[in-house]
């Protein structure tokens, strides 16, 4: 937690990364790649499901629409924990933990309960993101940066769902 960057610096660098990503991928590969992460979950889920039941993937309209397999987007999401690991090791902030402190204050330190909570939360964010068409990076960062109408509607939805439930669960205190 010590000597971290300002969130404004981190955000500005992410904006720059988005612009460079779009420029470089369009110039090199002929199509612009905008930062976004939730599609990667579909492509990997499809890959896993294909191994278990090839038919259910072959006949599925959504997998056909989004594609299945390892591509730029999946590699992007795989790169994120690597970059975080490098940063955390360099700054001596790497620390293994199962339960976030604030979760433990509210629900106790059971790793099993936290694992269930994380699973359910993870399920809902991806399910919701796919229904909405994207996540905070795809709709928030990339969408709003393009002044896309959809981005603003989705981001409003994130807070309409998230703020009341978080206040209900964790209360309003620092």
Residues between 87 and 126 with contacts to another protein, criterion CB under 8 A: 87-88, 91, 93-103, 111, 114-126
Q: Is 145 in the site for another protein (CB under 8 A)?
A: yes
Contacts by 99-106, CB closer than 8 A, 24 or more apart: 102/170, 106/169, 106/170
Q: Could you say which residues in the range 60-79 bind another protein, by CB under 8 A?
A: 60-63, 66, 70-79
Cβ neighbours of 36 (radius 10 Å): 23
Site size for another protein (CB under 8 A): 137
Q: Is 49 in the site for another protein (CB under 8 A)?
A: yes
Q: Is 161 in the site for another protein (CB under 8 A)?
A: yes
42 within 8 A of 134, measured Cβ to Cβ: no
Q: Is 81 in the site for another protein (CB under 8 A)?
A: yes
Q: Is 50 in the site for another protein (CB under 8 A)?
A: no
Nearest residue to 44 via CA among 69, 13, 16: 69
Q: Could you say which residues in the range 19-38 bind another protein, by CB under 8 A?
A: 19, 21-29, 31-35, 37-38
158 within 8 A of 136, measured Cβ to Cβ: yes
- What length does the chain have? 174
């Amino acid at each position: 937690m010590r000597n971290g960057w300002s969130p404004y610096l981190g955000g500005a660098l992410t904006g720059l990364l988005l612009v460079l990503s779009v420029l470089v991928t369009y110039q090199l590969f002929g199509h612009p790649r905008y930062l976004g992460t939730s599609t990667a979950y579909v492509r990997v889920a499809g890959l896993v499901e294909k191994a278990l039941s090839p038919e259910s993937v072959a006949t599925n309209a959504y997998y056909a629409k989004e594609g299945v397999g390892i591509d730029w987007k999946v590699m992007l999401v795989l790169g994120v924990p690597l970059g975080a690991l490098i940063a955390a090791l360099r700054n001596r902030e790497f620390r293994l933990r199962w339960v976030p402190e604030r979760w433990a204050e509210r629900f106790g330190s059971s790793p099993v309960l936290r694992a269930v909570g994380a699973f359910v939360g993870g399920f809902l964010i991806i399910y919701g993101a796919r229904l909405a068409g994207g996540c905070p990076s795809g709709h928030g960062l990339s969408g709003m940066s393009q002044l896309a109408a959809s981005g603003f509607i989705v981001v409003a939805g994130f807070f309409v769902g998230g703020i009341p439930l978080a206040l209900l669960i964790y209360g309003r205190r620092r």
